[in-house]
Structures are given as C-alpha cells and as structure tokens.
Amino acid sequence: MSSTVSMFERNRSFAKSFSDADLPLVPRMRTVVLSCVDARVDPAHVLGLALGDAVVMRNNGGRVTKEVIDELATLAFMVGMMDGDRPGPFELVIMQHTQCGAERFADPAFQHAVEQQLGIDVSVSAITDHEQSIRDDIERLRGAPGVPGHVVVSGLIYDVKTGRIVEVVPPSALG
Ligand SMILES: [Zn+2]
C-alpha cells in the first residue's frame, strides 16, 4: 500500500481545521532554516515552526552547497525587491545534527563508491566535526556572491538523543 493512502487521511484531518489561507508570502520570522533531510530532524517539529513562520531548505547534512547559495541569493533578491527602499531583516539558521548520515560521506571508500557509481561528489557534504562544519559553511556563505552582507546567520546542532539544540555560532551579520 502506498504512503499516500495514509497521507490523504492525515491531510483530510489537517484541512478540517485549516485557517491559514491568508498567510503572506514572506515568512513571519523572515528566516530561512537550513537543515538535514533526516526524518528525525524536521525543523517544523524540532523548532516548533508553524505554517508561514520560516522558509525551510533541506539537503544531506544541512550543508551550504552551491545549490543552497543560489537559492539563498535568489530568495534574498526577491525579498529585497518586495521590501523596496527599506530592506527588512533576513536571517539564516543552519541546523545540523548528531548522528548525521553525512558523517558517512567523510569515508573515502564511500565517497569513491558514490563517485564511481553515480558520478556524484559528496565530499562537500561530508561531516567529520559538526562544529567545524558549521563554521566552514558560514565561511562559504561569507565568500558567496549574491548573498547580501546584512543576512544574519547562526549555527545550531540538534541532538537526536535529547531533542535539544545547542548554539555553535550565535547570530551575526555576514558582512
Ligand atoms: Zn543528517
């Protein structure tokens, strides 16, 4: 049986009390959360985000890749156009987590196998030290064209064993 059977059921119950038809396009918290695709770390649950609170982007590891930079630059550009002369706040929260599958990407044998069989380079998402990965990601953003300096960035690690987040890099503007 397909997962959609259960999903239709869940959606029917969601839609019954739906009252968010008029949410604005720009999220209430003016924040983007970048996190891992891991099913255990869904920011809506972990950070208590409601519909319309934040934009959530997810990839393997919650890493700042070229694709993430392009998305962020485009979002910031779009929000900037909507804000006009007085740009409002724009925040990025990077949330990585313990026991991440991207730790496997650090294994040279695994990297080699993925490269050989899929032609994909996973080394950019590899995590060996969580705090260092977050710092590297923020550095990558700092040097990225198109991501404006007024974007406030912070880095967190979510512990899948305790459900708690720990701050690694406090919020500060990129530029
Ligand atoms: Zn992960």
Give the model confidence (pLDDT) of 47-69 as tens digits. 999 999 999 999 999 999 999 99
Strand, coil or helix: what is 19?
A: coil
Check whether 73 has a pLDDT greater than 90.
yes
Q: For residue range 137-146, what is the model confidence (pLDDT) as tens digits?
A: 999 999 898 8
- For ligand 1, the distance from its centroid to the CA atom of residue 37, given in whole angstroms, is 6
Q: For residue range 148-167, what is the model confidence (pLDDT) as tens digits?
A: 999 999 999 999 999 999 99
Check whether 72 has a pLDDT greater than 90.
yes
Strand, coil or helix: what is 94?
A: strand
- For ligand 1, the distance from its centroid to the CA atom of residue 28, given in whole angstroms, is 26
pLDDT at site 1: 87
- For ligand 1, the distance from its centroid to the CA atom of residue 40, given in whole angstroms, is 9
Check whether 95 has a pLDDT greater than 90.
yes
- pTM for the structure as a whole: 0.94
Check whether 85 has a pLDDT greater than 90.
no
- For ligand 1, the distance from its centroid to the CA atom of residue 89, given in whole angstroms, is 28
- For ligand 1, the distance from its centroid to the CA atom of residue 121, given in whole angstroms, is 17
Given its phi and psi angles, is residue 52 left (phi above 0), alpha (psi -120 to 50 degrees) or beta? Answer: left
- For ligand 1, the distance from its centroid to the CA atom of residue 99, given in whole angstroms, is 7
Q: What CATH homologous superfamily does 23-173 map to?
A: Carbonic anhydrase (3.40.1050.10)
- Give the model's confidence band at 9: pLDDT under 50 very low, under 70 low, under 90 confident, else very high: very high
- For ligand 1, the distance from its centroid to the CA atom of residue 86, given in whole angstroms, is 37
